């Protein structure tokens, strides 16, 4: 049962993965070498060497499965790459170790309590690796014959001939099988596997013996050997799902479809207890193992005192993930109290953390990051434009400069240019204000805005009567 559910979860994941250019889409890892030393520019990561080195050590411990229930805080000024480093860690972990990220403010949703939201987040970052033996048929397609009923309606039937180097067998095909074969565009010469339980068909590649048959094959065509031995095999399949996914599937109110919509609501604690028990049984029987993943809470200063106390407690649970948090706050109020504390985090939680700090970028690093972003967005930029943008980045903020890339390239395209010039940069710089100029503007024209709270010295004070 567990394995079937796990397979279903995998399918949902395949459907919902979308790629687009986002703020961190240029980050493909932490850019470390084998000795965990950061290369200055690698995998989209630039500079920030100390923090990346530290993140690399944490990552290595996570990969070895040695630590769970530890917590790391990345602290530093805005725009110094805290979120970027966390994304790099996620990429470096690969798909087999769960990584789940939320922003602190997401915890305060109207649909569930704060602690429920945090519990779900924790369980989304704990993986369960389920091992399962399944029966498959693996062979090279010799011939596929599909008969359409003469009337045009009714079930299609067909026959599929598969072979290995030693044997050849003809299988009868039902309508469902025909549909999946058509969907996968299976043709003679393909090497395929059919999962006997689920009927799922996967194409492994084209047989080497057929390499010369077609010259119209794309360069991405993969060639494989014709399988040896029996057509029917037993194969060990490993699925990794998260505890949360098991919770949702087994929660009668939600059902499996809730994973599609993400609309899971609160999950009863009895369900969770049952799942914990079941997973413990699987572990004892050797059917499953726990993979502590990573929970990343960005903007962690948005959490309040109740959430922090929940975190203290949750980290001590025996199935806890590694918690990574990020904040750009200095010494400030802890939400929900009138006490101040470094990073707005209570001292007792801070005491359990390893703290990584990030620092502002040099001119060289800023320029390097900007040019990586240009590449990511497919924007060509002249050298002097790049220099101007770098200056802007140093004086205002890296984020503002990154934003200007997209705008400048649009302006450039409007004038039918192919390379962004200094003039394009100048133009967007005057069109869009950065934070400093915007506040200056507000100070100058504050009288014309609503709800203005700045007292105007030039006006005589009103006398209360
Ligand atoms: N070392 C780096 N290498 C490559 N890109 C980076 C690096 N540091 C930051 N960036 C990019 O710069 C932008 C701003 O960085 P990021 O969002 O990580 O800052 P932050 O520290 O999380 O800031 P905040 O405190 O405001 O959340 C992002 O687009 C990020 O991908
Ligand atoms: Mg951030």
Please write the tens of the pLDDT for every residue from 63-114. 887 777 889 999 999 999 999 999 999 889 887 888 999 999 999 987 889 9
pTM (2 decimals)? 0.76
Cα distances (angstroms) measured from residue 329 to each of 166, 322, 343, 349: 68, 22, 5, 16
pLDDT attached to residue 335: 93
Which has more pLDDT, 273 or 463?
273
Establish whether residue 402 lines the binding site of ligand 1, counting it when its CB lies within 6 angstroms of any ligand atom: yes
Model confidence at 408: pLDDT above 90: yes
Residue owning the nearest CA to atom 9 of ligand 1 = 81
Atom number in ligand 1 closest to CA 76: 21
Please choose, from the candidates 452, 429, 343, 432, the residue with its C-alpha nearest in 3D space to the C-alpha of residue 77: 343
Residue owning the nearest CA to atom 19 of ligand 1 = 79
Establish whether residue 229 lines the binding site of ligand 1, counting it when its CB lies within 6 angstroms of any ligand atom: no
Atom number in ligand 1 closest to CA 80: 21
> Measured in whole angstroms, how far is the alpha carbon of residue 345 from the centre of its chain?
26
Establish whether residue 421 lines the binding site of ligand 1, counting it when its CB lies within 6 angstroms of any ligand atom: no
Q: How far apart are CA 40 and CA 44, in angstroms?
A: 10
* Pair of tokens at residue 237: 């399949």
In this structure, which residues have their CB less than 5 angstroms from ion ligand 2? Answer: 83
* Pair of tokens at residue 134: 């399944």
Residue 465: which pLDDT band, with cuts at 50, 70 and 90? very low
pLDDT attached to residue 85: 94
Please write the tens of the pLDDT for every residue from 117-141. 999 999 999 999 988 888 889 999 9
CA of 358, nearest ligand number:
1
Model confidence at 253: pLDDT above 80: no
CA of 400 to the centre of ligand 1 (A): 11
CA of 373, nearest ligand number:
1
Establish whether residue 254 lines the binding site of ligand 1, counting it when its CB lies within 6 angstroms of any ligand atom: no
CB-count burial class (<10 Å; 0-12, 13-18, 19+) for 321:
buried
Residue owning the nearest CA to atom 29 of ligand 1 = 23
Residue owning the nearest CA to atom 27 of ligand 1 = 78
Atom number in ligand 1 closest to CA 26: 31
Q: How far apart are CA 436 and CA 443, in angstroms?
A: 11
CA of 24, nearest ligand number:
1
Q: Cβ(79)–Cβ(398) under 8 Å? A: yes
Which has more pLDDT, 145 or 217?
145
Return the SS3 of 190: strand
Establish whether residue 129 lines the binding site of ligand 1, counting it when its CB lies within 6 angstroms of any ligand atom: no
Establish whether residue 370 lines the binding site of ligand 1, counting it when its CB lies within 6 angstroms of any ligand atom: no
Mean of per-residue pLDDT scores for the chain: 86
Mean pLDDT of 393-411: 93
Query: Mind giving me the DSSP string for 340-395?
Result: EEETT--HHHHTTEEEEE--PPPHHHHHHHHHHHHHHTT--B-HHHHHHHHHHHHH
Q: How far apart are CA 115 and CA 268, in angstroms?
A: 13
Model confidence at 251: pLDDT above 90: no
Mean pLDDT of 274-294: 90
Atom number in ligand 1 closest to CA 44: 4
Q: How far apart are CA 187 and CA 167, in angstroms?
A: 19
Atom number in ligand 1 closest to CA 48: 1
Query: Mind giving me the DSSP string for 5-18?
Result: HHHHHHHHHHHH--
Residue owning the nearest CA to atom 14 of ligand 1 = 79
Which has more pLDDT, 69 or 382?
382
Establish whether residue 84 lines the binding site of ligand 1, counting it when its CB lies within 6 angstroms of any ligand atom: yes
Atom number in ligand 1 closest to CA 47: 1
Q: Cβ(281)–Cβ(273) under 8 Å? A: no
Please write the tens of the pLDDT for every residue from 155-185. 778 899 999 999 999 998 888 888 888 888 8
């Amino acid at each position: 049962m567990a394995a079937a559910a796990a397979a279903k979860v995998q399918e949902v994941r395949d459907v919902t993965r979308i790629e687009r250019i986002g703020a961190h889409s240029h980050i493909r890892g932490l850019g470390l070498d084998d000795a965990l030393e950061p290369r200055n520019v690698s995998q989209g990561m630039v500079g920030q060497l100390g923090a990346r080195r530290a993140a690399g050590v944490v990552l290595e411990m996570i990969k070895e499965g040695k630590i769970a229930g530890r917590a790391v805080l990345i602290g530093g000024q805005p725009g110094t790459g805290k979120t970027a480093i966390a994304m790099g860690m996620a990429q470096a972990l690969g798909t087999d170790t769960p990584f789940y990220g939320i922003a602190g403010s997401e915890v305060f949703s109207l649909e569930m309590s704060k602690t429920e939201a945090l519990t779900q987040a924790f369980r989304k970052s704990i993986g369960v690796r389920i091992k399962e033996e399944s029966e498959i048929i693996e062979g090279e397609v010799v011939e596929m014959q599909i008969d359409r009923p003469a009337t045009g309606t009714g079930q299609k039937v067909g026959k599929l001939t598969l072979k290995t180097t030693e044997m050849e067998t003809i299988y009868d095909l039902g309508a469902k099988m025909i549909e999946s074969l058509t969907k996968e565009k299976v043709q003679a010469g393909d090497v395929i596997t059919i999962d006997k339980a689920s009927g799922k068909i996967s194409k492994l590649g084209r047989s080497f013996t057929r390499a010369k048959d077609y010259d119209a094959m794309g360069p991405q065509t993969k060639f494989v050997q014709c399988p040896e031995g029996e057509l029917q095999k037993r194969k060990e399949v490993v699925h990794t799902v998260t505890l949360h996914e098991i919770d949702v599937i087994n929660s009668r109110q939600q059902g499996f479809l809730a994973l599609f919509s993400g609309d899971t609501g609160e999950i009863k604690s009895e369900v969770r207890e049952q799942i914990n028990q079941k997973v413990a049984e699987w572990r004892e029987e050797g059917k499953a193992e726990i993979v502590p993943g990573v929970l990343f809470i960005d903007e962690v200063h948005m959490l309040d005192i109740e959430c922090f106390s929940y975190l203290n407690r949750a980290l001590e649970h025996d199935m806890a993930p590694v918690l990574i948090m990020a904040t750009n706050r200095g010494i400030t109020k802890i939400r929900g109290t009138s006490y101040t504390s470094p990073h707005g985090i209570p001292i007792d939680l801070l005491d359990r953390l390893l703290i990584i700090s990030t620092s502002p970028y040099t001119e060289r690093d800023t320029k390097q990051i900007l040019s990586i972003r240009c590449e990511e967005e497919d924007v060509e930029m002249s050298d002097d434009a790049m220099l101007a943008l770098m200056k802007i980045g140093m004086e205002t903020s890296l984020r503002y400069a990154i934003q200007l890339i997209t705008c400048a390239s649009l302006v450039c395209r409007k004038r039918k240019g192919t390379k962004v010039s200094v003039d394009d940069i100048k133009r967007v710089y005057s069109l869009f204000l950065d934070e400093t100029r915007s506040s200056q503007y507000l100070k100058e024209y504050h009288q014309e805005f609503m709800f203005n709270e700045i007292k105007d010295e030039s006006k005589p004070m009103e006398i209360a009567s």
